Structure 1
């Protein structure tokens, strides 16, 4: 399988850098090949075109992230702790890979409708993970029974997404990961059972 070959990952990692530094439309396949240290033709052994590279890199990076986050949150029994960890993991991942942050927050959004639909497919597993945390919180009595899961999920994802986009637009000048706990607490205050 292509995904298990080292050059596949080499090209994906190179594409993240090339797209972040040049923008999706200016990151020709030749630039990605040069960044990966492979011949232009090698790219086509693994990917159909540049669009395929962009979708694959998002599937690869987001897939790995969702998998790791899913494993990590299993170590926490409380839904509130799971949500805190999810926010922290998301901020940490993009803080550690600033090029990926630029690609996910800016470049993926400038793509065409068909591409965005494919990206939304990849996002579904992440949104499902948020839903599971919220349902767990309702079931355990941590979150109120009347909590609208769909709306709460939109608030969580929207908050995380906007905070990362703002950080990217500000040239990543401050410590994004440092605000993870405060952001999670603000969200949790809206979901939690009322204290008497």
Structure 2
């Protein structure tokens, strides 16, 4: 599988760096190849085109978020604590990889309608896991039985996403991870209220 090949990973990581520095539209495949230390043609062994690189970047990086949420769901913790861990992890991954934060929060948003549709497909797994976490909270009695899971999911993901975008727009000047407790508290009060 191509995901396990070292060159594939190098290209994905190089793409994050080049897209963050230059913007998606100015990020030339040749620059990505140079950053990855591979020949231009090598990129086309793994990717159809630049759009495919961007989608692959998102798939690879969203897998990191989704895999961690799967681990969280297995933990013997109340749903509200799992929600906190999810928020904290989301912030930590992006705080620790500032180029990735620029790509996910800014560059992916400027893409074509077709590309955004493909991005939403990738996001589905993460949101499905969030639904499972919310359902667990309802089943345990932590969250209200009449909680609208779809609306709660939009509220949780939207808040995490907008908080991150605001941090990126403010040149990442403060510690994003430090906001996790306050975001968690606001979201919990919104769901229980």
TM over 0.5: yes
Q: Normalised by the size of structure 1, how large is the TM-score?
A: 0.96
Aligned to 2:61: 61
Q: List structure 1 runs of 4+ shifted beyond 6 angstroms.
A: none
Give the length in aligned residue pairs: 193
CA distance in 1, matches of 2:131, 2:65: 16
CA distance in 2, matches of 1:33, 1:113: 26
1:115 aligns with 2:111: no
Q: Normalised by the size of structure 2, how large is the TM-score?
A: 0.97
The aligned runs of 1:47-196 (5 Å cut-off) are 47-192=47-192
CA contact (8 A) 1:101 1:168 kept: yes
1:15 aligns with 2:15: yes
CA distance in 2, matches of 1:189, 1:159: 13
The 1:97/1:76 distance shift into structure 2, 3 A limit, reads farther
CA distance in 2, matches of 1:123, 1:2: 21
Match of 2:147, SS? coil
CA distance in 1, matches of 2:168, 2:139: 36
CA distance in 2, matches of 1:45, 1:120: 25
Q: Deviations over 1:67-92 (max 9, x none)?
A: 12221342242110010011000000
- In structure 1, list runs of 5 or more residues that go unmatched: none
Give the alignment's Cα RMSD to 1 decimal: 1.0
* 63-72 or 92-101, larger mean C-alpha shift: 63-72
Query: How far is the alpha carbon of 1:3 from its aligned partner?
Result: 1.5
Match of 1:171, SS? coil
- In structure 2, list runs of 5 or more residues that go unmatched: none
CA contact (8 A) 1:138 1:144 kept: yes
Match of 1:187, SS? helix
CA distance in 1, matches of 2:76, 2:103: 31
CA distance in 2, matches of 1:144, 1:183: 19
Q: Deviations over 1:110-153 (max 9, x none)?
A: 00011100000010011111111111111000011111111111
